[in-house]
Amino acid sequence: MLVNCVAYEDGRKLTEIDKREIRGYLARPGCFVWVALKDAAEAELAEMQEEFDLHPLAVEDAGHGHQRPKLEEYGHSLFVVLNTIEVMGDELRAGELDIFVGRNYVLSVRRGTEHGFQDVRARCEREPELLRNGSGYVLYALMDAVVDRYFPVLDAVELELENIEDKLFSGSAPRLNIERLYYVKQKLTTLKHVTAPSMEYAGKLFGGRVPGVCSGLGEYFRDVYDHLVRLNQSIDSERDTVNTAIQVNVAMITYGETEVTKRLAAWAALIAVPTFIASLYGMNFKHMPELDWTFGYPLVLAVMAVLDLYFWYRFRKAGWL
């Protein structure tokens, strides 16, 4: 679906154009065309390939979708893949933004995300001095918007982790806490798979040999790179926190089971003492001491009670009961 097709010249919006007029505006000096597609069909991509002379391998990747974040150069043009992440209830939903960038055009194709980039277009149109840099600045603005949208997602995951940490020492549902921590770790891994490759190729857009369409914008792409570095460091820190929380939770489960074992052992000892004495005098031998003694029975009961009280006191003092 075609979202926008706009021509720009000298940093200012000329007009919205029909896709059949694209070639005419591409031929105009100092003019570039920005086309935005959503969930593009193969026929639409083929049409754009013909208009912009896109490389067939890049078009094939954009058509298939589910690409890893990457940056590829095809002659004087770039093909950039960004992954988008949105919070949907308790889950994270991944989408994709494919960007074709040439000297006088930008083609963005988004898939699997409802959050569009109209705000990015409005931002660019409010900054004509920067928009004079052409398609390279539009690429920066799109990358910056996608990266900035990672921060609220990470904040939501961090808040979820904090809520679980508050419940760790409450003693309620420890196994459920482990399950929740595992889901948080999955979300952090999803974010890591998105941000780490993006950081790798963002570093190629400033310093050293920079693609021609991005020349003169090194400081802007460095800013995107710095944001990605911050994100990766935060994600690594949160993953370490999750691992520590899981270990603490497992240790608490083990500690609780040890406490139960100690209590059972203490009660078993309390029962074992009178059982031993009673079994001793339960043997059917004819000649046994104290059998004919009048006070034998109450004495044995007293001995049992005294021993059990002594052991109960010792176990209680040791914290086993």
pLDDT for res 68: 86
Residue type at 111 in one-letter notation: R
Reported as a single tens digit per residue, the pLDDT across 35-68 is 999 998 899 999 999 999 999 999 999 988 788 8
- Residue linked to tokens 């900035």: 148
- Residue linked to tokens 């949160």: 238
Strand partners, 109: 37, 98
Angle at 95 between CA 92 and CA 99, to 5 degrees: 150
Helix 150-168 vs helix 218-281: angle between axes, to the nearest 10 degrees? 20
3-state secondary structure of 150: helix
Which secondary-structure segment (H or E) carries 189?
A: helix 174-202
Reported as a single tens digit per residue, the pLDDT across 151-185 is 999 999 999 998 888 887 776 677 788 888 889 99
> Alpha helix (H) ranges present in 282-320?
296-318
Residue 285 pLDDT class (50, 70, 90 cuts): low
Residue 280 pLDDT class (50, 70, 90 cuts): low
The DSSP line for 253-271 is: HHHHHHHHHHHHHHHHHHH
CA-closest candidate to residue 146, choices 199, 188, 218: 199
Distance, CA of 26 to CA of 15 (rounded, Å): 13
Strand partners, 97: 82, 110
Class of CATH domain 1-131: alpha beta
Do residues 242 and 157 lie in contact, with contact meaning Cβ atoms separated by under 8 Å?
no
Do residues 196 and 232 lie in contact, with contact meaning Cβ atoms separated by under 8 Å?
yes
3-state secondary structure of 282: coil
Distance, CA of 68 to CA of 36 (rounded, Å): 20
Residue 228 zone, left/alpha/beta (φ > 0; ψ -120 to 50; rest)? alpha
What are the residues whose beta carbons fall under 8 Å from the beta carbon of 265, sequence distance 6 or more?
A: 320
Do residues 195 and 84 lie in contact, with contact meaning Cβ atoms separated by under 8 Å?
no
Say yes or no to pLDDT of 304 above 70. Answer: yes
Instruction: For CATH 1.20.58.340, list the domain ranges present in the chain.
Output: 254-318
> Alpha helix (H) ranges present in 203-217?
none
Which CATH number fits the domain 254-318, given the four candidates 1.20.58.340, 3.40.50.920, 3.40.50.300, 2.60.120.380? 1.20.58.340
> Could you give the dihedral angle defined by the CA atoms of residues 140, 142, 147 and 151, in that order, rounded to the nearest 10 degrees?
130
Say yes or no to pLDDT of 255 above 90. Answer: no
Residue 240 pLDDT class (50, 70, 90 cuts): very high
pLDDT for res 290: 66
Structure tokens at 242: 């999750």
Quote the pTM value. Answer: 0.79
Q: In whole numbers, what is the pLDDT of the chain averaged over residues?
A: 86
Q: Lowest-confidence range among 57-66, 114-123, 185-194, 311-320? A: 311-320
CA-closest candidate to residue 139, choices 194, 81, 68, 197: 81
Instruction: For CATH 3.30.460.20, list the domain ranges present in the chain.
Output: 1-131
CA-closest candidate to residue 172, choices 164, 160, 162: 164
